[in-house]
Each structure stands twice: as structure tokens, then as C-alpha cells.
Structure 1
Amino acid sequence: MTRRYFGTDGIRGRVGEPPMTPEFALKLGWAAGRVLGGGARARVLIGKDTRRSGYMFESALEAGFAAAGVESELLGPLPTPAVAYLTRALRARAGVVISASHNPHHDNGVKFFGADGSKLSDAIEQQIEDMLDRPLECVAPERFGRARRIEDGAGRYIEFCKSSFGDRSLDGLSLVLDCANGAAYKVGPAVFAELGADVDVIGNTPDGLNINRDCGSTHLQALRARVVERGAALGIALDGDADRCLMVDAEGREIDGDQILYVIACARLAAGTLQGPVVGTLMSNLGLEHALRERGVEFRRAQVGDRYVMEMLKASGGVLGGETSGHTICLDRTTTGDGIITALQVLAVLVREGRSIDQCVAGMRKYPQVLINVPVNGRAREIMDKPEIRAAQADVLARIGDRGRLLLRPSGTEPLIRVMVEGQDAAETRAAAEYLADCVRTVCG
């Protein structure tokens, strides 16, 4: 059955337009409460990022859970992975995050975690969608759920992050941290400072509207400039809900998710703790695959989306996977992608080996890769099936042969078709990607 609301990362959309309306959020809270509640005094945790609309959706979800007889415990602004951790640590029935991740402030979304701190399965999300079709019926008044605020959630999460770093110290290390004016604007600086780093922080003045605006992992220009200006050893960029992490080196050069995954995988391999295959996605750079296989490490590709990386890791017994965009999953440290935990795993390598980040990634040669996002007015999958698009793909494949890869796919979170071409020759790769993107634009009118 095709799901109407849940995408690859929860439910997401423009605020005020279906499904991201207060009426829908109330019904969603009730439906989720009915499916996930599972008995008297069931508790759910609700966290959010810094979008102004978060207040509205927090209240609406709380009301829906109350109508289903479920207690709500409000965490306030905290990273998505913090909610996942606290759901497990506090033994709640579920965790809820109000966030649209790296999207602009006018979007918002809702995602869920189960009691084990992992994202819900497709089957449970389908049960919630089925429940949404039923009329909302309140429990008896004496069974209404209550709400309270949790005051120590941030402190608990900070200590958890620090514990993933072991007994090492960041004393004397100069860092620039970009919090994207998002959910990690308080806890992020605290983690690195308490470990001893000299931290210069940007993107830590949220006003409810500036989340991800010219900052964070989707806009690295400000971080690059600040790292070079300060002479810092490393720059760390989180996204709006802090489940992603990208970096820049001392010269301001980007270190993407594939390179981060390579550094952590090599460290785990050297320590003898790497289990199973490393899992990337269809978008992962061919250079990552080749570099890992040269070291005897199996590499597998999942569909794009951290939920699919997670599914493949669990099915194959792996502990490490991620996406080029900076979603990195370290199942030997936590249950979901976590930007702060990811950064700490890389920093542990730098501290232990006494090397810079650019030295650590030198063993991986990135193939030139061009990604073009083409906006479409709905029906992305239908557009991709057009004969003109299929003919263009065949043409490009004939040109690049075995020297590269191409991928056209609809975005799971935005009205876009993503065109990716990868190859050994930069000019040929760019030309092929532009050609495909122009074909998509022409078909879209």
C-alpha cells in the first residue's frame, strides 16, 4: 500500500499546507498515541528544533496524545538524536521530533522513534496512517494524558556524547562549530568545550526564522571563512536538527560524508572493531567504495535515505554506514545518525594519531561528482518514466561507459529530481550532468 503521509524521514511539508497543519498534527498525535501507547500511563517524549512553528505543532501533538490517554514529556529544542537517546534512556514508549532537518524555516515535519531509540518501521508507520482514517475518539476524562517539561534532558545528552569519546581530551585543539541556528545551538558548543577544545561558535543565535539560513551543513561558506580567519584546525557543520555533520579542513576545503565515513571505517578497521560491511547509498562516491575495498572492507549501497542505510546495516550485521550529505550512523555508539557523535569519532582519530583531517582522508581519491537538483511540480516518478528521459540516460551511459555512474532519483523530502553523474574526467562529468538536467527541465516545461 502506498503511504500518503510518511516519507523517507517522517512527515514533512510547508507549514500551513496539508499535511503540516495544526489540525493534522492533533490527529497525528492521537493516532500515534493509539498505535504506540500500549497501555495505561504510556509516556512519549516530544522534542523540536528552533523553528517558530514548533510551538504550534508541539501543542497540537500534546493535545492529540492527551486525547489518546498518553502522557507527554516535553524536551524543548534538542537535536533529533538526543530525542532518540533520551527515549531509550528514560524508557519512554516513543519519541517524537518536530523538525524539517535541513529545510528552511517555512517547512516543518514530525518523525518518530520507538522505545529502543530507532526510527519506526514501515509497518508501524502504516498502522499510524490507517488510524488517521478513523474518527478521533477521546478516552474517558479520568484517563486523559498529562504533560510536563523535562529540565535535565540537555545535560543527560551532553554527558552521553562525551562518553562516546572515551577518556581522551581535546585540550589545545582549535575548532569552529556551526550549529545552523538549529537544535544543537546550546548542547553542541557545550560538548566540545567540556572536552577541552577551544571552540568558536557560529550559527548559534536562532530567532525561529533563521534556521539553516546561509549556515550549517547545507551552506559551508561562512564556516570556511571563519576557519581560515581563525587559523582553526577544523570546522564542524551541523544541520538544523543536528543529525548531520560535515567538516572543513584548515584550508577551508570541504570534508563530506563519504570522507568522514572513510576516516571512521579505517579507524575501526585498525582497532579490530569494524563489523560487517560498511554501508553507503547510491549517491556515495565511487572513490569511497574503491578505497575501502583496497583495504579489504566490503562496501554495500542502499537506497538514498538514512532509514535504508540502517535497514541494510541491521540485515548485514554492520555497524557503520552513512550518506554523502553527512548522515553517519555508528551503531557501536548510538542508535541513529548523530552529527555530534560523528564529529567526536573523527576527532578521536585526529587526537589518537596526531594527524590533520586532510592527512586522514588522503587515502581516498574522490571521483568528480556533479549533483544537480531540478525542481518539479509534483509527479517526479512519472517524469522519470518519460521516454525522453530514458533515452537521455541511455545516451549518457553510452558516453561514460565503465568510467563512471549516473543516477536520477526523486527526492524523498522535497519536490525535486536529483541528477547525479560521477566519472573520472571532471569536464565530461559536468557536461553529462548538465545535459541530463536540461532534459528533465524540458520535460517538466
Structure 2
Amino acid sequence: MTNPNSQATNPKPLRQFVDLVDPAANLFLSCSQSQADEAIQSGDVEQIRRINGQYAVLQPTGPLLRMARTIARPMRYYYADFEDKSFLVVAERIDEIYEFLVAQGCAASFDSALTRMVPAHYLCEIDLTESSDVSPRYERFLRPERNRLPVDLDLIGKTYIGQLTQELNRWLDVLPDDEPIGVMFSGGIDSGSVLLLLHHLLSERSDSLDRLRAFTLSIGGEGDDRKQAIDFLNTLNLTSFVEEVDVPLSQVDFRKAIAAVEDYKPLDIQSATAGYAICEAIRERYPDWRWLVDGDGGDENLKDYPIEDNPGLTIDHVLGHTLLYQEGWGIDAVKHSKTYSGGQSRGHVRTWAPGRLLGFSGFSPYALPNMIDIAEGIPFAELTERKPEKLYALKGEVVRRGVKQITGFEMPIYPKRRFQRGAVSSQTFEQIFPSTARDYRNEFDRLQA
């Protein structure tokens, strides 16, 4: 007699999963797509950790769907249950999920707030036989050992920037030899180090330096970044690499950024607005340009954000909470958003989405797991004596020393300034952007309606 409760004889039907993630947008620096697929299919987090690059990968294994991603590649999913259809849809964007459901005639009850972002640096495992109210299983694959480096700024700089050099070198191996490279350049610490290291590596390879361009945004002919970028390069006799991208004020619209990023956090939307403006202008100027590289992730790695700008945040939180700026408070925290994830895991879409939508292949080497792993090994508390002003000065010292040892360049260091603030004057900034967080949210809600 058949046991009606037996899974072997009466298995639950598998929910149909739909894969809308574009594998061509993955960037692997140490393996192939198929090797990455095998690692994630195995469910072994040690194998997944060995994948080097920017990626979002999902693999079915029997009733299980396994997913993993790094910071620089978003991936979200959505349960769609109807009388005769049951989907688990996985995509990069909310609008991709919605458009699929429209095509299936199943979009009437879609709610973007019920999409779920796969948190960066975790293996996310979903049982396709379970109902949509069952939580996925998470297992971390990036587990940095904190405070493991000695209190030696020269050694820390060489280790950290040495790893960045390796990652950029691997990236150059992936690129076609004859295609140009654009650096999103403000003359700041992170974009400055990326530019100087690429200059160094191309020279070592006896490759043409004509491939390299430092794109600097100026909105309406204003902004401090244009002067800073020229000063930076002039100091090093590299002024020929700068290319100013001047965007008319009339072409800058924060609503484009909200549509691109599918989010509403003011600082991220402001940054994405500037990012969209420069990407749009580069695309108009160079219809075939593909490769862009930026310094995103450098602030998060070296914990270089004004603590006083975040009510309730203390230096003890910043120094004591692993990966706070990269991942937020953690997947089990009340402050964690299931719809968006947290920290840079959420906010990096401000960089990724504008370039992706405008046909660029972007690279953010500071956001790679290998870079984050080394950064977490820095003994921040000992080096800063838990004083915010010493913490803010630390990044410049670490990067300057590392760049000097590897390239010979004595890199100039300027005060920190956000991307969106450097592209315009203060007066123009107030004209471009709404004054309250509610204004951003209202526009987002309007677009999602």
C-alpha cells in the first residue's frame, strides 16, 4: 500500500524557476563560467570563495536552487504563485521580473517590495518544493580574518595596493588588447590609485598608453573635481590622460537615476545621477566604448565615511562590526532590508546600473572579495586609537604608501569629497536634487506604481 505521506512516492512538485540573469555580464578573473557554475552547484563555500571576479550565478541541484553573488553584480528573485502557475523568477533588476510576469499574464498582483536581493558574499539556497513563506538558507563564503596584519603602514600599503595591482593585471588579461580603457576619475584617492596602477601595468606590458583615458565629470562647466583631476595629473606630468566630460545642466535628472537604480536612498541616487550623466555623455561621444573602471569600494574597505553623518553610529560600531560598510548590519539584523540587502551590497547598484544600461562593462576592483579580505585584516583600532580623525586620515596614508612602493608615483592626496558634490557647485547641487528623502521616495513610488 502506498504511503500518502511518502516524499519518495509522492514528491512535491518543483516550483518552476526562471533564470533571467545574463551570464555575459559576469567577469571572472581566475576561472571560467562553467567552473564557477560547478563551484556554486556543489554548495561548498570554500570552492565558491575561490571564484575571483564580479558575478551573479545560480545553479539548480535537484530540488535546490543555489545562488551567489559579489557586491558588484546585483541578483534578486521573486515568488509568483497563481492558480495554474508557480514561478521563482531570478533576475538582475526589478523591471526584468515585472516584464516577464507581464508576458506570462501574471503581473496583476506583482509587488516590487516582495522581490528579494541575494545578499553579497553568501551562498543562498532555496528549496523549490517549499512554499514562498519559507526562508532561504544562507552560508557565508567570504569570512575575513580581522586584524591579522601588523601595525606597519608601509607593509599594509604594499599588501593592499599589491593586491589591487594583481586584480587590475588579471582584468587586463581579460580585455581585448586593442580596446580603450576609461577610468572614472575625480583625482580622489581611489580613482587616482586605479589610474596610476593601470598606467604602471600598461607600461610594464609595453602596451599603448593611448588606450587609457581619465574621464572627469563637470556639470554645467562647474565643480571642484575638474580642477582636482587636472592638478593631480599635472603634479605627475600625466595631464594628457585627462578628458573632461562637461554635461549641460539641462541633461541631468535624478529621475533617470531612480529608474536606473530602482531605489530611493538620497546619497545613492545623487551619486547615480552623476554617474548616469557621465556615462550618457561618454556613450554619445564614443558609441563603441565598452570598458570602464572605477574606485568604488575604496571608502568602504578603509572605513572612510563621516561617522557623524549617521545618527546613532559610533566609531566602535565602525571598527567593531565586521563588513559594516560593505554589507550593513548583517542578514539577521532588524536593520537589514530583504528587498535591497545592506551597505555597499545595496548601494553599489548606483555605479553598476547606469553603466550597464548604457552598454558599458564596468569593473570595480576595490569591491572584489580579495580586496575586502585584506582590508578587514588591517588593525584599524590600533592604528587609529579609536579616534575618528585618525581613521579618516588612514586611507590616504595606506594607499599613498602602497602606490609609491609599486609604481614610484608620489600620489597627491586631497580631502574626501563625494562624487556628486565634486561635479557641481553647491548652488547648482541644490537646484538638481530634492531637499528631502521623501521626495526621492515619492518619485520611486510613482515609477513603481
User: TM-score, length-normalised on structure 1?
Assistant: 0.28
Greater helix share, structure number: 2
Q: Which has the higher contact order (CA 8 A, sep 6+)?
A: 2
Greater share of strand residues, 1 or 2? 1
